[in-house]
Structure 1
Amino acid sequence: MTTEGASSDGTTEGVSSEDTFDEYADLGATTENAMEIAETSMDRVRKLVPQETIADRIRGKSVHATGDPEFQHLVRFTGPTDDAPVRAGARAVLESRPIVTDITMVKAGITGRGHDCPVRKAIGNGAELAERTGMTRTAASVLELDREGVYDDAIAVIGNAPTAALALADCIEDGTRPAVVVATPVGFVKAAESRERLRAVAAEHGVPAISNVGRRGGSGLAAGLTNELVHVASDVRDGSIDAEWAADLR
Structure 2
Amino acid sequence: MSKNFSLNHPIVEESFRIIDQEVGQHNLSLLEYQIARRVIHSTADFEFLDLLKFSPKAIDSGINFLRNQTTIITDVTMVKQGIINLVSKTFKNSIITAIEKAPHALPQKTRTETGLLKCYQQCPHGIYVIGNAPTALLALCQQINEKKLKPSLIIGVPVGFVSVLESKEMLATIDVPQILVEGRKGGSPVAAAIINSLLILAWESNH
TM-score normalised to structure 1 length? 0.74
Whether 1:45 aligns to 2:19 is yes
**Which of 123, 145, 162 pairs up with 2:134?**
162
1:23-62 aligned at under 5 Å gives the runs 24-26=4-6, 35-47=9-21, 48=23, 50=26, 52-62=29-39
Which residue in the other structure is 1:182 paired with?
A: 155
* Structure 1 consecutive aligned stretches of length 4 or more whose deviation exceeds 6 Å: none
**Matched position secondary structure for 1:123:** helix
**Matched position secondary structure for 2:180:** strand
Q: CA deviation at 1:127?
A: 4.3
Q: CA deviation at 1:126?
A: 3.9
Whole-Å Cα distance in 2 between the matches of residues 46 and 212 of structure 1?
20
1:105-124 aligned at under 5 Å gives the runs 105-110=78-83, 111=86, 112-124=88-100
Q: Tell me the number of residue pairs that the alignment of Structure 1 and Structure 2 aligns.
A: 200
| Contact kept? 2:98, 2:113, Cα under 8 Å | no
Q: CA deviation at 1:38?
A: 1.1
Give the percent of matched residue pairs that are identical in Structure 1 and Structure 2: 32
Q: Which has the higher contact order (CA 8 A, sep 6+)?
A: 2
Which residue in the other structure is 1:229 paired with?
A: 198
Which residue in the other structure is 1:94 paired with?
A: 67
One-letter identity of the residue aligned with 1:73 = D
Q: CA deviation at 1:52?
A: 4.2
Which residue in the other structure is 1:17 paired with?
A: none
Whole-Å Cα distance in 2 between the matches of residues 158 and 190 of structure 1?
13
| Contact kept? 2:73, 2:119, Cα under 8 Å | no
C-alpha distance after superposition, 1:96-129 (max 9, x if no partner): 111110110000000232222111211122445x
One-letter identity of the residue aligned with 2:113 = A
Unpaired segments ≥5 residues, structure 1: 1-20, 239-250
Give the structure with the higher percent helix.
Answer: 2
Whole-Å Cα distance in 2 between the matches of residues 52 and 171 of structure 1?
31
Q: CA deviation at 1:24?
A: 4.9
Unpaired segments ≥5 residues, structure 2: none
TM-score normalised to structure 2 length? 0.88
Which residue in the other structure is 1:195 paired with?
A: 168
Larger Rg: 1
Whether 1:125 aligns to 2:101 is yes
Whether 1:72 aligns to 2:49 is yes
Q: CA deviation at 1:61?
A: 2.1
Whole-Å Cα distance in 1 between the matches of residues 205 and 154 of structure 2?
20
